[in-house]
Amino acid sequence: MNRIPELDGVRALAIALVIGCNYPVFAGLFGGLPQFGWAGVEIFFVLSGYLITTILLGLRGRPHAYRIFYARRARRIFPPYFITVVLAALFNLGFTLRPDFRTLLLQASILNSFPHSPTIFLDALRALHHHAAPSLFAAVHLPLGQQGADPYRFKDALSHTWSLSVEGWFYILWAPTVLAFGRRGIALGALAALLLGFVLRWAGGVSGLTWYMNFFCRFDLLGIGALLALWLDRRRHLALPRRRIGDFFLAGIALGAITGLAAILFRIRPFLGREIRNAPLFAAFGTPLIGLAVAGLIAHLIHSSRGRSPLAYLFRLPPLVWIGRRSYTIYLAHLPWYWVVCAFLGTAGRGTWTAALVSLALTLATAAFSWHYFEEPLLRPRTEPLITDSR
């Protein structure tokens, strides 16, 4: 695969949304709209599902396919990740009287997206057995700020790495699926993930947002990306008229998803200042609808890459491409640096523009250093085929 610069722009959008959500002073802008920046993780998942499936489709039938895939993933993921974990542990030891290494190690482990799985599955089974699943139209969304990690506790410095646990298990489970089964088996696996995610988010309950960081409830977004990869791979073998019909169909799905999201937000209004992920209607349908809308955007950018489309031109702007290529390390570093800066500034500096801007500058500098001295050298093609990064 050749690198598509517009997809780096998509990564830049995703990481900007995540930082806008996690830095309190940014989250309070525009009436609190950036607080919905958690949708950036959804963008990362769909993009990763598409890219990883496309890579694996290209490796089918080649010798040493598993070794090539997992070696490439290890070189991409592990060096910045382990450096971040070690530094977070050292910062925890240096800035707190009672370091909580147990929490940090749990957050850093690949099991970080599984702690609530038994409860979610049992609740779903009970609800389905007794026909007691919550109404999709129940208004249980809560004010923002009542849940989640305290943004000033060092023991939560790696709380955002749950998404890496989700992706790690996706790599482990999806590579054998794509490399061993045919297109139908791959599609059935992705559709099964969509169905499982819907049932668990709806019947398994949404209280406390335990579903949001759970692998089984989030695998469906990666599945949407995988279905997009299958669609676009098949498209390349079709005649031009049929390609165009398929493109219109995919655009219609994306527009329908955006319309559906608007209808859900209208139904559970007011949504500003509310934790809409706790609403059963949004938990069940909102996440896959976001995924379908993102898939439509990705497909459009791939079809019009380096073309005259206004969206393609926007997403390949050099600053966005620069950020997108370094978005993985930006994602890893943005919360640890925020806690370090807040510790230096003290209570009066927490939640201020100074804390946010200094943390952002340190994060970008860290990402630039890591990319130049660690990531890019490790990712240069060797004897195996070039594999595009998922972040």
Using the predicted structure, report yes or no on whether residue 207 has a pLDDT greater than 70.
no
In a domain, 305, yes or no: yes
Residue 205: band (very low, low, confident or very high) from pLDDT cuts 50, 70, 90: low
Structure tokens that stand for 138 in this block: 């129940």
Q: Is the model more confident about 190 or about 99?
A: 190
Residue 253 lies in a domain: yes
Residue 385 lies in a domain: no
Beta bridge partners of 142: 275
**Minimum mean pLDDT range among 22-26, 164-168, 277-281:** 277-281
The angle formed by the CA atoms of residues 298, 330 and 316, to the nearest 5 degrees, is 35
pLDDT confidence of residue 98? 65
Measured distance between the N- and C-terminal CA atoms of the chain, rounded to whole angstroms:
15
Strand 142-143, strand 274-275: pairing: antiparallel
Please give the biggest Cα pair distance in the chain: 67
Contact at 8 Å (CB) between 225 and 189? no
Q: Scanning the structure block, which residue is given the tokens 């960081």?
A: 213
Choice between 274 and 160, residue whose per-residue pLDDT is larger: 160
Considering the domain boundaries, does residue 386 fall inside one? Answer: no
Q: Each residue of 350-367: pLDDT tens digit? A: 788 999 999 999 999 999
1, 54 contact by CB (below 8 A): yes
Q: Alpha-carbon torsion 44, 50, 52, 53, what sign?
A: positive
Alpha helical stretches, state H, 236-286:
240-267, 280-281
pLDDT band at 385 (very low <50, low <70, confident <90, very high): very low
Mean pLDDT computed over 43-65: 95
Average pLDDT over residues 307-333: 94
Query: At residue 143, does pLDDT exceed 70?
Result: no
Total count of domains within the chain: 1
Arithmetic mean of pLDDT, 38-50: 97
Q: What is the pLDDT of residue 116?
A: 83
Could you give the CA distance from residue 389 to residue 166 in angstroms, rounded to a whole number? Answer: 16
Print the domain residue range for 22.
5-379
Most confident of 58-67, 151-160, 200-209: 58-67
Angle subtended at Cα 167 by Cα 231 and Cα 379, rounded to the nearest 5 degrees? 85
The answer to whether 202 touches 286, Cβ cutoff 8 Å, is no
Band (pLDDT 50/70/90 cuts) for residue 208 is: low
The answer to the question of residue 389 being in a domain is no
Is 387 contained in some domain? no
Q: CA 24 to CA 353: how far, in whole Å?
A: 9
What percent of the chain is predicted at pLDDT more than 90? Answer: 52
Mean predicted lDDT score pLDDT of the chain: 86
pLDDT at 108: 76
Q: Are 40 and 14 in contact (CB under 8 A)?
A: yes
What is the structure's pLDDT at 384?
47
In a domain, 224, yes or no: yes
Tell me, yes or no, whether 384 lies in a domain: no
